[in-house]
Amino acid sequence: MQLRLLLIASLFPLIATSQNSSSIDFVFGLDCSYRNLINSEETEFHQVLINSREVETKKLNWNIGFFYNKQLTKTIFIKSGFRLATIGYKGEKLTGIRWGSEHDGNGGYQFDPTLPHEIQNVYEYWFIEIPLEGRMEFGKGKLKPFVEFGFAPSIYLSLRTIQLTDIGNESNFSSAKPDTFNSFQLVGIGSFGINYNISANFQIYLNPAFRYYITSLNNDSISEHFYNYGLDLGIRKKL
């Protein structure tokens, strides 16, 4: 725990007294996420478990964040801040479900519209991230392409389980987790995009981004690594 706190605390010296070469960002993003399963034990049971998860599908997520940027050279910047992010996946969609109460005991079937006949569970993990990224900008005009790379220590907050049915949806938040669950995650980040100067003090930017959760979600023999790709839209104010 002390090591984690030291790692997080080491990022904050970047957030210092405002200067002309500094700026702050507000960013909102949408992305599509899934998980990569790595089997460390080549047994039939583990392979069956991995194959059973092939029916899972990607999920649309969102993130929102605030960042501080510090200019190091004419083209190189470094930034850090906070990002609230969701990531997850959709479980298998079950259709054509029939309930025992719909059978009359004589081979007949009476459809009950008050019962769900399609069910799908969605798993949405919430994290707070503290990214540390470097950015290189190109060009001199109002439009400036850029690339960014970095890492984001991330802390698990909660799991939202959503049950989708043909008669309605239910959701539930829970902070409970298995003993093998890793609450601390290290995320690798890569992106490219375009800055646009709308005035002397304001910029907007748009960038596709890719994030990979380097830390496994658990300590089991089958490790799970989330990843996502999406689009971020931000506004930046120079200080």
**Which sequence spans correspond to the domains of the chain?**
2-95+111-238
The pLDDT profile of the chain, 239 residues, written as one tens digit per residue, is 544 544 545 544 444 444 458 999 999 999 999 988 777 666 666 667 667 677 888 999 999 999 999 999 999 999 999 999 999 999 989 999 989 888 877 778 888 889 999 999 999 999 999 999 999 999 888 999 999 999 999 999 999 999 999 999 999 999 887 778 899 999 999 999 999 999 989 999 999 999 999 999 888 777 889 999 999 999 999 99
Amino acid at 116: P
Q: What is the pLDDT of residue 180?
A: 81
CA angle 5–11–14, rounded 5-degree value = 150
Strand-strand pairing, 143-165 and 119-129 = antiparallel
Q: Which fold has domain 2-95+111-238?
A: Porin (2.40.160)
The phi and psi torsions of 56 (rounded to 5 degrees) equal -75, 155
**At 195, which amino acid appears?**
N
Six token digits for residue 81: 């801040």
Global confidence as pTM:
0.83
201, 164 Cβ separation under 8 angstroms: no
